Amino acid sequence: MIYRSLNSQGPVAHVRFETAEGIGAGTTDVRCRSVKVGVVREVKLAEDLKSVVVLVELNSDSGGLLRQGTNFWVVRPRVSATDVSGLDTLIKGAYLELEPGKQEGEQVNHFNGLETPPATNRDIPGRRITLTAEQAGSLVAGSPLYYRGFEVGRIESRKLDIARQRVTYDAFIRSEYSSVVKENTRFWNTSGIDISAGADGFKVRTPSFQAMVTGGATFGVPEGLVPGNPVSDGSTFTLFENEDAANRSTFNPTMKFVLLFEQSVRGLVKSAPVEFRGIPIGRVADISFDYLKGEDDSRIPVLVEIDPSLLRRESEEKASKPDDEFLKDAVGRGLRVALKTGSLLTGALYVDLDYYKDPSPAVLMKVGDFSSIPTVSSGFAQLETKLTVILDKFQALPLDESVKKINGLADEATATLASARKTFDSKEFTKLPADLRGSLAAFEKAAGSLDHLVSSVGPNGAVQGDLLRTLDELRSALRSMKTATKAIEEEPNSIIFGKSKSGGPFPTAPKFNR
């Protein structure tokens, strides 16, 4: 009996848990794939009194399950936003689930139990990868992974990497879909409703209802990018915050420029597009006075990243000139940079490159360590400049001198008419022949009309008053248009929403040790 008892005893494992909730000595089974392989023999407090140690006795023929990498966890009713499990334990009671490690693992008998069961059993075939992100968002263990809108995997766990200051996710792709994960695949978050506003207006993206509730991520290869070879287990990918960020990651800028603008840059933000006649060729990298060396220069420096090869008509392989020489020639042919309004709703600006006819002579300059393409005023800034020129021309008109000359001519005409009336009233005039008196009478009538005209044009005349009032109204209208264009330039969406009461955004502090 003693031999039979000793021979029937199996190996014993020591499993540490935070609490012993749902675990009872002699009553809690140990199962592997729903097959009973042992039982809990003892539950006791650990020496540090901060955890419990569960002694698990396995069947004599199950000793091979205790190896490095084996996991234990308590199966009990669990309800979460992503899953409902363990409902059968409401009747049968909780039990310990055993997930064996790899067969080549070393034999051990001390384990740390899992407080949360893994989302996917390790024996299920598939591709296991790692995702990293700057923010956790709403992705949790069990959140689905989508490919072209079809669920192909899930997030197994997440943790905070203190050393790298990033969030790390363990993800699982089912074996039948593992081949779609390539070297150049991009992953992005699709949790919740994505609302963005920029130079191309408002964008609203709504995922599936499940992704809105539980969170989710999707992946794919951006258009125009070579997929590459399938990846192996353990590969790491960046999890982007949205699809636009994932697509922008494929852009590889080859040159950086500092652009100096004399107009307001309100509405221009980092990552704003840089376009050539509507074709994206770059993005705004930074806006800071640190790039400007001269203290007396009030222009606004903007650092941009572009790919000059996108400006060429010829392909990169057939390019006959380096980028530097190509841009020097392009500036000589009229290539200039301007700020333009992308959307009146958001007031967002973008950087536009284009060839202008008869621009002011300019060359490709150097600003610190970066080259600088010449800039021009555009849109409302140009209209404001033209209105200013018109106002200056009106101010320069010799209106006062012209009015004085008109007044002198009116005085001379009045004196002449007075002499003519005196002649008509004299006795000698009645002695003149009838034909001569008729001619003189006609002259008197014409002189009366001239007197009326002179009185209208004189200093107090209606014509001069109307002229002065017209000029004053024109000056006022031009000033109003100048004020309006300046306000629209600084805040384009004020046409729709009205001018904001608050001032401009806070300026960024100078950066040191660049």
Q: Does residue 389 belong to any structural domain of this protein?
A: no
The number of beta carbons lying within 10 Å of the beta carbon of residue 310 is 16
As given in the structure block, the two tokens for residue 251 are: 């852009």
* 66: amino acid identity, one letter: L
Specify the pLDDT at position 22: 86
| Average pLDDT rounded to a whole number, residues 175-185 | 91
Question: pLDDT: is 122 or 21 the higher one?
Answer: 21
Same-domain check for residues 370 and 296: yes
Task: pLDDT band for 317, please (50, 70, 90 cuts).
Answer: very low
Specify the pLDDT at position 53: 94
Write out pLDDT tens, residues 482-494. Answer: 666 666 666 666 6
Place of tokens 């109003």: 480
Helix 380-396 to helix 462-490 angle (10° resolution) is 150
Average pLDDT, the chain: 76
Write out pLDDT tens, residues 197-207. Answer: 554 554 555 55
For residues 218 and 147, what is the distance between their CA atoms, to the nearest angstrom? Answer: 6
Residue 294 pLDDT > 80: no
Place of tokens 């989508």: 146
Same-domain check for residues 100 and 146: no
Q: Does residue 508 belong to any structural domain of this protein?
A: no
Same-domain check for residues 408 and 461: yes
Q: Does residue 75 belong to any structural domain of this protein?
A: yes
pTM, whole model, 2 decimals? Answer: 0.54
Specify the pLDDT at position 387: 57
Task: pLDDT band for 329, please (50, 70, 90 cuts).
Answer: confident
Task: pLDDT band for 440, please (50, 70, 90 cuts).
Answer: low
Q: Which of 127-136, 231-240, 414-423, 449-458 shows the lowest per-residue confidence on average (mean pLDDT)?
A: 449-458
Distances (CA, A) of 94 to 31, 91, 122, 506: 11, 9, 21, 58
- DSSP annotation of 196: E
Same-domain check for residues 238 and 273: no
Shortest CA distance to 98 belongs to which of 71, 60, 58? Answer: 71
Same-domain check for residues 364 and 276: yes
Task: pLDDT band for 386, please (50, 70, 90 cuts).
Answer: low
For residues 307 and 282, what is the distance between their CA atoms, to the nearest angstrom? Answer: 6
Specify the pLDDT at position 342: 75
Say if residue 446 is exposed, middle or buried (CB neighbours under 10 Å; 0-12, 13-18, 19+): exposed
Residue 121 pLDDT > 80: no
Specify the pLDDT at position 422: 66
Domain boundary among 313, 343, 377: 377
Residue 320 pLDDT > 80: no
Residue 323 pLDDT > 90: no
Same-domain check for residues 214 and 305: no
Specify the pLDDT at position 5: 59
Write out pLDDT tens, residues 351-363. Answer: 998 888 888 888 8
Q: Does residue 186 belong to any structural domain of this protein?
A: yes
Specify the pLDDT at position 13: 92
Question: pLDDT: is 61 or 83 the higher one?
Answer: 61
Residues 6 or more apart whose Cβ sits within 8 Å of residue 487: 494, 499
Specify the pLDDT at position 86: 55
Same-domain check for residues 445 and 398: yes
Q: Does residue 326 belong to any structural domain of this protein?
A: yes
Question: pLDDT: is 283 or 405 the higher one?
Answer: 283
Same-domain check for residues 97 and 199: no
Q: Does residue 505 belong to any structural domain of this protein?
A: no
* 242: amino acid identity, one letter: N
Same-domain check for residues 344 and 429: no
Q: Does residue 119 belong to any structural domain of this protein?
A: no
As given in the structure block, the two tokens for residue 150 are: 């079809």
Specify the pLDDT at position 487: 66
For residues 448 and 77, what is the distance between their CA atoms, to the nearest angstrom? Answer: 113
Residue 32 pLDDT > 80: yes
Q: Which of 4-18, 108-122, 125-139 shows the lowest per-residue confidence on average (mean pLDDT)?
A: 4-18
Same-domain check for residues 262 and 242: no
Number of domains into which the chain is organized: 4
Specify the pLDDT at position 505: 47
Same-domain check for residues 50 and 158: no
Task: pLDDT band for 396, please (50, 70, 90 cuts).
Answer: low
Q: Does residue 510 belong to any structural domain of this protein?
A: no
Same-domain check for residues 223 and 280: no
Domain boundary among 201, 226, 248: 248
Give the range of the structural domain holding residue 42, as residue numbers without chain letter: 2-112
Domain boundary among 181, 213, 248: 248
